[in-house]
Amino acid sequence: MAKGPDSAGLTFRQEYFGDAAGWAALVRLLRDIFGIDIGPLQQLGGPDASSMPFGWFDAEGELAANLSAFALPFVLNGRIVHAAGLQSGAVRPQWRGRGLYRDLTVKALDWCERQGFEAILLYTDKPSLYEAYGFRAIPLNRYEGTAPAPAIGAAPARPLLPANADDLALLQLLLKARSPVSTTLSVTTNAAMFLINTHLDPDVRIGFLEGCQAVIAWKMDGSGRFNLLDVVAAEIPSLAAILGGLDIASATVEVLFRPDKLGWTGAPQPFESGTVLMLRGLGDDDPHFPAMLSPMADF
């Protein structure tokens, strides 16, 4: 029998995002451990409605350890996979070595199994921690190549600012109605993660192509290369239309998702990152091609 956690002085709770004190405790935990602030997510529409957090709280209401699960359906080779994601896994230093995180991982995986999820995804900088639970790493690849000629006559894009109430409402509307950015590999919904990532990464620019009813998340790197991070639209516009609308004449482009809907083909290159995408489930139905998920869906 597996040894239980040393939880003396702690209380286990789950499903506490509806409690202001519980949510605030998670915000503090992630700020203290990782230096990221997810607090503004409440003003951006709140956490994903499907979220199920699991945590050990101390007597003062601080989170000693947390792991959250949520629904994360994704497209794989044309079919929607009923999947979950795990995120916000953290343990305060003074509570480490007591088996708390192992306990939360087992609880989260058991919950996912009871919900009938056929696969689970997570990002981690400690892949060996999850291999014992049946997770395996999925190598990621960015796509780079020569930029197409920008489409002529495209209506100019305007910037969207999620801090602006009208822009936020438009973003939320388009995120609800979006199509997967790829037919081969793409999350189907990621509104909360898209919105908080616009806050966490100040280099991300958001443009709205009104003629295409498309939101473009993009960057320019230090060499002047256009980086396409995500496209939110009911119908994905071509890369040429995107460049035309943004009025960008970059010699080369980098696309950080599978580009099969863009009318453009880039060469896959290994994506170097501090975190690894891991998958549990699906058996032999892993992506057998250069995989990539938009960093705007990074959870």
Band (189; pLDDT cuts 50, 70, 90): confident
Query: What is the reported pLDDT for 264?
Result: 96
What's the fold here for domain 11-140+273-289? Aminopeptidase (3.40.630)
Q: Which residues of 13-28 are buried (b: 16+ CB within 10 A; e: fewer)?
A: bbebbeeeebbebbbb
For 107-122, write each residue's pLDDT tens digit: 999 999 999 999 999 9
- State percent of the chain over pLDDT 70: 99
Distances, alpha carbon 61 to alpha carbons 5, 24, 25, in Å: 19, 10, 7
Give yes or no for residue 1 having a pLDDT over 70.
no
Query: What is the reported pLDDT for 99?
Result: 96
For 90-108, write each residue's pLDDT tens digit: 999 999 999 999 999 999 9
Nearest to 48, CA basis, from 188, 244, 236: 188
Nearest to 198, CA basis, from 174, 217, 181: 217
The stretches of the chain forming alpha helices (DSSP H) are 20-34, 100-115, 128-131, 165-177, 191-200, 239-246
Specify the pTM: 0.91
For 42-51, write each residue's pLDDT tens digit: 988 889 899 9
Query: What is the reported pLDDT for 2?
Result: 61
Residues of the chain with CATH 3.40.630.30: 11-140+273-289
Query: What is the reported pLDDT for 284?
Result: 76
Query: What is the reported pLDDT for 147?
Result: 93
Query: What is the reported pLDDT for 298?
Result: 78
Contact call for residues 120 and 281 (beta carbons, < 8 A): yes
Calpha distance 130→117 (Å, rounded): 18
- Per the prediction, the chain carries an average pLDDT of 93
Give yes or no for residue 138 having a pLDDT over 60.
yes
Query: What is the reported pLDDT for 249?
Result: 84
What's the fold here for domain 142-269? Aminopeptidase (3.40.630)
